[in-house]
């Protein structure tokens, strides 16, 4: 087995079981793409084993912090089995959903491996060289371990794979950044998979949708918003396939305006409305849903200029900051939309606002929101916080794993 030797004093993060070793921490040591290496301190002490990624800044991702435990196929399969067993409640007959994240990468001990479950079908995203190396083992263990697994498929993100040296430059160019999809085992999933989340039904497009098709990570937040929505006029910004809006309607909202820039997402949101509420209830007391294909930055200004107001606004934008260097620009974006949304709220109106940028800390997000409130000349009280659901756990030694933060607040009369 090849060996990677760390520079003096660069072993502390591995000793704290942080899974990433950056290229700058390595004195010497080479290996092939995704190969398992021994990780050794400058003094020669064995610290564990990781997967080597020659093209990435994150040169090694730790698989085992135990020098006695060499990661082989059986070890990786066992990690998959453990991840599945930790989600037992989601697979139980009394579960209120048939969709969850089954493997959450580093935080389940499997760097770069994401696996989402949608009513029998598992969709993986393998985003590191090590994850690719162990692909067959992971797929086999998923088919074996996920209760009632019908098939395992893969969504590939070309940009990430290029970064990990898993695609040639030519290949990256040729594919033009388009996501790929392939069946790895078992049955091919249908064009749309139907899932449920409590009373709500969604179609998930695992081939063309975002991430693996659905924002499973917002499950708890959708339910929190639903519980606050009774009799409210709701504006759901960045609605994707309708999640927060459907949750609000199920919670008794008077009317929901769903806004997204993506035509395809809105089309699916409409289908989800029909699927959840049925033709009859949908038209019971006039249409309960409006759909707007627009840039939220513009639409909020339009609402402001027209003097429109709402009782509940949801802001769940895409990632504004991918890296630390983009945080400042991202903060301006968050401040802009939150300030505008605050101005649209009636007295006692509720703002449910989210950031899924890992680089944006919870503290900084709070600060941005507080500044936005001052500039909007409004007073708010915080009434709740949300985060990614329990099927998206965060290993305590891997704070990077906490990316999704939500704040629910009320405008004081
Ligand atoms: N709330 C959703 C997930 C939102 S994902 C859920 O619970 O499922 C972010 C969404 O923002 C995507 O659907 C994307 O199409 C949309 N989006 C990105 N930039 C936008 C913009 N400037 N204006 C409107 N929508 C945008």
Q: Over 254-300, what HEC string results? A: CEEEEEECCHHHHHHHHHHHHHHHHHHHHHECECCEEEEECCHHHHH
318 lines ligand 1 (CB under 6 A): yes
What mean pLDDT comes out for the span 55-66? 97
- CB atoms < 10 A from the CB of 231, how many? 9
> Which one from 124, 239, 303, 356 is the annotated catalytic residue?
356
- Calculate helix-pair angle for 327-344, 296-305, nearest 10 degrees: 30
pLDDT tens per residue, range 30-59 = 999 999 999 999 999 999 999 999 999 999
Is the CB of residue 238 less than 8 Å from the CB of residue 262? no
- Nearest residue by C-alpha to atom 26 in ligand 1: 261
103 SS3 class: strand
* Beta-bridge partner residues of 4: 39
307 SS3 class: coil
Is 237 designated active site? no
pLDDT tens per residue, range 171-201 = 655 555 556 899 999 999 999 999 999 999 9
pLDDT tens per residue, range 11-33 = 999 999 999 999 999 999 999 99
Q: What is the pLDDT of residue 150?
A: 98
CA count, 13 A, side-chain hemisphere, 223: 13
217 lines ligand 1 (CB under 6 A): no
Terminal-to-terminal C-alpha distance of the chain: 66
218 lines ligand 1 (CB under 6 A): yes
Residues making up the chain, counted from first to last: 413
| Distances from the Cα of 30 to the Cα of 26, 87, 102, 267, angstroms | 10, 37, 32, 49
Q: Which of 226, 318, 406 to mutate to test the pocket of ligand 1 (most atoms within 8 A of CB)?
A: 318
pLDDT tens per residue, range 145-176 = 999 999 999 998 766 667 777 765 556 555 55
Is the CB of residue 229 less than 8 Å from the CB of residue 251? yes
What mean pLDDT comes out for the span 308-315? 98
Q: What pTM did the predictor assign?
A: 0.94
- Nearest residue by C-alpha to atom 9 in ligand 1: 318
Q: What is the pLDDT of residue 246?
A: 97
């Amino acid at each position: 087995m090849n060996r990677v030797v760390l520079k003096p004093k660069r072993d502390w993060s591995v000793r704290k079981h942080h899974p990433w070793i950056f290229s700058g921490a390595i004195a010497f040591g080479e290996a092939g793409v995704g190969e398992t290496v021994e990780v050794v301190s400058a003094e020669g002490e064995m610290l564990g084993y990781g997967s080597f990624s020659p093209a990435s800044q994150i040169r090694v991702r730790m698989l085992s912090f135990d020098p006695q435990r060499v990661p082989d196929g059986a070890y990786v399969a066992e990690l998959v089995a453990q991840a599945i067993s930790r989600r037992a409640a989601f697979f139980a007959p009394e579960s209120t959903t048939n969709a969850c994240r089954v493997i959450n990468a580093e935080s389940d001990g499997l760097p770069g491996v994401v696996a989402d479950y949608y009513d029998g079908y598992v969709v993986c995203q393998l985003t590191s060289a090590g994850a690719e190396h162990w692909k067959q083992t992971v797929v086999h263990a998923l088919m074996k371990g996920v209760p009632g697994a019908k098939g395992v498929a893969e969504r590939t993100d070309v940009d990430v794979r290029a970064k990990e040296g898993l695609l040639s430059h030519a290949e990256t160019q040729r594919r033009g950044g388009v996501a790929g999809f392939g069946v790895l085992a078992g049955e091919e999933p249908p064009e749309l998979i139907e899932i449920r989340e409590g009373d709500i039904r969604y179609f998930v497009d695992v081939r063309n949708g975002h991430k693996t098709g659905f924002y499973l990570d917002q499950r708890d937040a959708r339910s929190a918003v639903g519980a606050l929505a009774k009799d409210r006029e709701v504006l759901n910004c960045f609605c994707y396939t309708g999640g927060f809006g459907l949750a609000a309607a199920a919670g008794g909202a008077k009317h929901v305006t769903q806004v997204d820039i993506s035509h395809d997402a809105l089309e699916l949101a409409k289908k989800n409305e029909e699927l959840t509420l049925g033709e009859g209830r949908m038209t019971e007391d006039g249409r309960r849903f409006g759909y707007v294909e627009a840039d939220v930055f513009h639409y909020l200004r339009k609402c402001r200029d027209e003097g429109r107001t709402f009782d509940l606004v949801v802001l769940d934008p895409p990632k504004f900051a991918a890296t630390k260097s983009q945080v400042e620009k991202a903060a301006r974006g968050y401040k802009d939309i939150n300030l505008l949304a605050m101005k649209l709220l009636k007295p006692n109106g509720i703002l449910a606002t989210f950031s899924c940028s890992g680089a944006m800390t919870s503290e900084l997000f709070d600060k941005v929101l507080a500044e936005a409130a001052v500039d909007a000349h409004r007073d708010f009280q915080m009434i709740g916080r949300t985060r990614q659901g329990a099927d998206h756990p965060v290993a305590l030694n891997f704070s990077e794993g906490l990316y999704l933060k939500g704040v629910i607040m009320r405008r004081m009369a």
